[in-house]
Structure formats: C-alpha cells, structure tokens
Chain A
C-alpha cells in the first residue's frame, strides 16, 4: 500500500524528465515549448512575488459561488425530478438538451443577458456544474432500494419523512460523485469564462501572458491550475471519506 503510493507520481516524473531532457538537448526548441525548468521558475516567481494570489482569490470566488449555487439548486432539482413525475417530465428534456452543449459556448449569450461582469461568469459556471449534480441526484434518488423504503415505512416513517430519512441518505454516494465531477467542471468553465472581458482571474492571466508571448508564464498558470484542481479534489475526497465513513468508496 505504502509502496504503491510512492510509485503513484512516477509517470508524472517520467514526463517531466523527458520534457526537460528534450528541451536541454535542443530536440524541443524554446519557441515551440519552454523547458520545464523555465515554467517551474515562472511559477515560483508568480507565487513568490504574490502576483498570483489576487487572481486566485478572484477565480475561486467566481468558481465557488457558481459551484455552491449548483450544489443547492442541483440537489433540489434532482430530488424533485425523482419524486414528482410532473417535474421529471418538465425538466428531463431540457436537461438532456443542455447536457452535450459546451457551456463556454454560452458565455457570449450570458454576457448579453447578464452583463460582462462577474454575474455572467458565475451563471455559466453554475449551469455547467448543475448538469452532473442533477443527473447524479436524480439517478441516486430514483434507484433507492425499495427494501429500505419498506423497512422505514414498517418502522413508522411517514411518506413525507421518507425523503429525509431514506431517499437522501441512500442517494448520497451518487450525489457525492456528481459533485466531484462538478468541481473539475467548475475549474474548466471558470478559465474559459475569464478569457473574455476579464481583468482578474487565472483565466485572464493565461490569456494575457499568451497574448504577449510569455509562454513560460502562461504554462506556469496552467500548471498552477492543475495543482489547484488536484488539491481541491483531494480535499473533497478526504472530507467525504471522513463524513461518509459508512460508505465503501471504490477510489
């Protein structure tokens, strides 16, 4: 177990070494791709100078607001779809239509509706996060083992209370998986939304460094985003394992 954990980052290490070796040997010219060391140095500068901090906070604010809105709205909508036939009939086709749409493609439209400020960015992040959460909640709440529902009813739980006592807790593992997907989506859509008409944020940094040909700094922000996303996922999964000790997680 411990040895496997140590070996886990090995493929990444190999990629980094190969990348650096290709740059150093001249096989990968710097006009095509900066060396790993240059990118790492840029990242150290960005973090060390504190330049990246306000952009991180601005981005996390947008992504977090959109994400948490999606969690609340998504779980509510998913449960209602599973429990109320009319809601399911009303929302399912809309959901199926929205599902494959690349949400960043809606940014220009959202800007027309909601202005070019934070609001349109948050709205598009929320919409993108909403889809996996609604689908996961709907499936989870719909597939509750009928034995558990019978068991609760035989022990005095009323129809109205079944939702809180059985349906939601039983659907929780699936909801949690949907929320995890939404965390990654929040970051993806966040960056796209900050490419356009933004003066802060990590997406803005990538776009502006790319625009002036500072590739090392641009890639440094991409790397930073990857690490940030990874850290958020680890924190989420660790929190989940603690909060849901009753469930046997596969990962």
Chain B
C-alpha cells in the first residue's frame, strides 16, 4: 500500500442555509494513494461533480477537510489540473496557445515551454493542428486539447469531470484508451467522474459508487486485475462481473432517486 496523497475527511457540502438548505454531499471520507486512478460513478444529483470541484478548490466544503499531501486545500492550484466536460478551452487561443497557457502563466520562457507544448501535441495526436482555433475542431479533438492543456502543466492530480460525456461512442472509446495509456506511463493520480459504468471500470483501478440525496459514498471497489493497453480485458469474466455488480449498485440508486 502506498501513501495517501489526497485525503477527504468527513466532507460535507450544503447549499444555502436554514430549512431550505440543500445537502449536496454528506460525510465523504476517502483516501487516494499516489498514481491511483479513481473512478467516481453515480446517478445524476449525487454530487460527484461537486466533489471534484471541492478537490479542485473552486468550492469550499461546509464541513470536514480535504488534505493534499497533508496540507489543507485553500483554493485552485497548479498541483491539480482539471478537465471539464466541454467548452473549457479559451476560444481566442490556438491549440498551441491553449496548451501553452498554463506554462506561460508560470512565467516559463519560450525556449523552455515550446518543447513541452510540442510533446503534448504529439501525446494527444494533434500534429498539424497547432494553429487551429477550438471552434475549428471536433468535440473529440477539443477534449484532446483540454487534456494536453492540463497535462502540460504537469499536475500531481488530474481531475476529470465527465471529460468524454459529450462525445460519440467511438471517439469516447478511443480517448479512453489514450487516457489509460497516458496514465500508465505517467505518475499522475486521477479522479475521474462519470455516469458511465463501463467507463468507470475500464479506466479506474478503484471505483467509488455514490448515492444521491444526499450525495454520499455507497461503496468503494478495487479492480483487482490489470486491463493492460489493449481491449482484451473486455473478454475477462472478472471485468464483466465487476461491471455488472457496479451497474446493479448504481441502478438501485437511480431507482431510489426516482421513487
């Protein structure tokens, strides 16, 4: 067992106060180790995105504490990179300038950041598109840029809020494989929010299932087998079993939310 790099201690989040207050998250406790890939899956309204925004430092928990490398989170920081579902690129910057954005903000001189930008353009297979603007790219390419933009800053933790949720099934599948490949070769710890059970299991080494109203952790599962780089894992009965288990767990929550 590795060292906990991210720790949520009894975190709660309420919007508003008094009798009309809405509890988005309740008593969330979770320890994430270095280079884990944690999928967070659950029905809509279970606060999984809120949880990510809390770790990102964009929101502040009403109770509890979130510690990163044993220091409390006070706001957004470069140690945490975030990829949103869509429309997070700066429309007025080219692909190149979007990827260079964080490096320039650090004050890194051009000769230093150019090779980093070029390497990340290659990493997400966007050679030849450096001078294009986001609106000239497909949704899948835009998400590739967003991932490159985030990875270029070399964050310790990658926060991903349904990054492939708005893409078609094929593009989504290809980007999932790419993300897994990038993660396996890198050192990043990933928190990946999704409502897609298959995606959660295919990517996450740990899968957090959440329940809604109020948002809380229902169960945490560990994927005991490696899925490798290819697509052979799909034929693995253990993969199917885990997927079915999680789907039933999520479905219970969806049904409960509907009742």
Binding site for B on A (CB under 8 A): 145, 147-148, 150-157, 161, 165-166, 169-170, 172, 244-248
Contacts and interface: CB of A to CB of B under 8 A. Distances in A.
Contact of B102 (A155, A169, A244): A155
Given A150-B82, A155-B105, A145 B76 contact: no
A248 B56 CA distance: 31
Nearest to A150: B58
A155 B153 contact: yes
Give the bracket for the number of chain B residues in contact with chain A: 20 to 34
Interface of B: 56-58, 75-78, 80-82, 84, 87-94, 101-102, 105-106, 133-135, 149, 153
A148 B92 contact: no
B92 A151 contact: no
B135 A150 contact: no
B90 A166 contact: yes
A145 B105 CA distance: 20
B55 to A, nearest CB: 11
A157 B93 contact: no
A248 B135 contact: yes
A156 B102 contact: yes
Nearest to B75: A153
Contacts of A245: 133
Given A151-B82, A154-B76, A246 B105 contact: no
B87 A246 contact: no
Contact of B56 (A150, A161, A170, A244): A150
A151 B106 contact: no
Please report whether the interface of chain B is mostly helix, strand, loop or mixed according to DSSP: loop
A153 B16 CA distance: 25
B102 A246 contact: no
Given A147-B84, A150-B56, A154-B76, A247 B153 contact: no
Contact of A155 (B57, B94, B133, B149): B149
Given A157-B105, A169-B92, A145 B87 contact: yes
Contacts of B93: 246
Kindly name the residue among A151, A169, A172, A244 whose own CB sees the greatest number of chain B CB atoms within 10 A: A151
6 contacts: A145-B87, A156-B106, A156-B153, A165-B105, A245-B133, A246-B133
B232 to A, nearest CB: 36
A151 B78 contact: no
B108 to A, nearest CB: 10
A249 to B, nearest CB: 11
Given A150-B58, A246-B135, A155 B92 contact: no
A244 B135 CA distance: 12
A6 B183 CA distance: 56
